[in-house]
């Protein structure tokens, strides 16, 4: 896995990358995403007419035939969609308009709360800054609000936002401890009622506490041992077996901390800050959107533990950095010299 990070950077850096190459990459992303998500929508429609339930059609059920995590896939579709809004002039208008609708449907069916939220915020800002006409801004914002309202009122999406973000007072009172007589032991009813957000809170609080108590802040538990430590603590609070064993901590930043230690986490944060700096300096809106989307999703998901997530993040971010550093900077130098 670690070698893959280096290989991705070396391959992209040593490729003959220019503006036309990058344009082809994102056009390929758009057309391939359009084709793949159309297949998934047709598959979902077939499931629906066969009488299968909502859980078989959306979220994991939507992307299962590709063996793809719905959050990863929603990120890919979101990047393709935002590319269309920024550079749609190079795509035939009919294909572009149909493609926008199909990609939006795909993102909704992926049902990732974090991805849907970032998309909603991003398009509000995009419409406000992109168009000068107040009438155009208001029209597009009304369309966006109407679309968000329709999506939110889809029962499964509403359930994921309302139930998934529920937070009970007893969860706030949860305190990790090494004293077994004082440990909170979750019963069946409590485990069954824990929301997605509550579970992430428990995992984060538990992981950080025991990392400090075990004296592993500098080095972490190590990639080979981190899951064993997590599973042990899940068992100690009765969050396992048959519930959470094998689950990561569901926060990319905390995962790096408990796996590799504080220094590696600081390096990763510096890498993100540098990437944001380059994107903002060069006003690369697509790069800013990509980074903001991933940085937010990292709060709720551990993406950089699977090859699919590693390739998604490091390939595109390396491509963006090359575009910003070598292509856009060289154009600026050329303009100054002229």
Q: 284-317: per-residue pLDDT in tens?
A: 999 999 999 999 999 999 999 988 899 999 999 9
How confident is the model over 261-290, as a mean pLDDT?
Answer: 96
Gap between the Cα atoms of 250 and 164, Å rounded:
14
Tokens, residue 86: 């920024």
pTM for the predicted model, two decimal places? 0.90
Mean pLDDT computed over 175-195: 91
pLDDT digits (tens, 9 = 90+) for 309-335: 999 999 999 899 888 776 665 544 444
Residue indicated by tokens 């359009």: 34
Mean pLDDT across 148-172: 76
Model pLDDT, residue 338: 36
Give yes or no for residue 223 having a pLDDT over 80.
Answer: yes
Please give the DSSP secondary-structure letter assigned to residue 55.
G
| Cβ proximity of 45 and 36 under 8 Å | no
> pLDDT tens digit string along 255-264?
999 999 999 9
């Amino acid at each position: 896995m670690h070698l893959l990070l280096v290989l991705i950077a070396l391959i992209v850096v040593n490729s003959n990358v220019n503006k036309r190459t990058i344009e082809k990459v994102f056009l390929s992303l758009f057309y391939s995403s359009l084709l793949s998500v159309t297949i998934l929508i047709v598959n979902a429609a077939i499931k629906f007419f066969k009488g299968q339930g909502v859980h078989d059609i959306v979220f994991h059920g939507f992307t299962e035939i590709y063996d793809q995590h719905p959050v990863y896939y929603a990120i890919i579709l979101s990047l393709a969609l935002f590319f269309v809004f920024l550079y749609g002039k190079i795509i035939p208008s009919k294909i572009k308009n149909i493609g926008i609708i199909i990609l939006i449907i795909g993102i909704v069916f992926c049902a990732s709360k974090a991805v849907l939220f970032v998309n909603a915020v991003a398009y509000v800002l995009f419409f406000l800054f992109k168009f000068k006409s107040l009438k155009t801004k208001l029209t597009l914002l009304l369309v966006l609000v109407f679309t968000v309202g329709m999506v939110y009122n889809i029962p499964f999406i509403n359930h994921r936002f309302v139930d998934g973000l529920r937070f009970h007072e007893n969860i706030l009172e949860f305190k990790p401890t090494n004293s077994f007589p004082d440990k909170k032991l979750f019963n069946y009813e409590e485990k069954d009622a824990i929301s997605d957000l509550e579970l992430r809170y428990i995992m984060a609080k538990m992981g950080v506490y025991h990392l400090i108590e075990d004296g592993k802040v500098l080095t972490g538990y190590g990639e080979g041992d981190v899951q064993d430590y997590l599973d042990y603590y899940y068992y100690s609070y009765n969050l396992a077996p048959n519930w959470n064993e094998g689950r990561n901590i569901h926060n990319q930043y905390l995962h790096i901390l408990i796996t590799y230690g504080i220094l590696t986490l600081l390096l990763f944060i510096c890498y993100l800050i540098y990437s944001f700096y380059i994107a903002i300096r060069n006003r690369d809106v697509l790069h800013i959107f990509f980074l903001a989307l991933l940085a937010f999703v990292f709060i709720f998901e551990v993406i950089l533990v699977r090859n699919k997530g590693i390739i998604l993040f490091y390939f595109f971010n390396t491509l963006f950095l090359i575009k910003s550093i070598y292509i856009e900077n060289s154009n600026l130098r050329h303009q100054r010299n002229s």
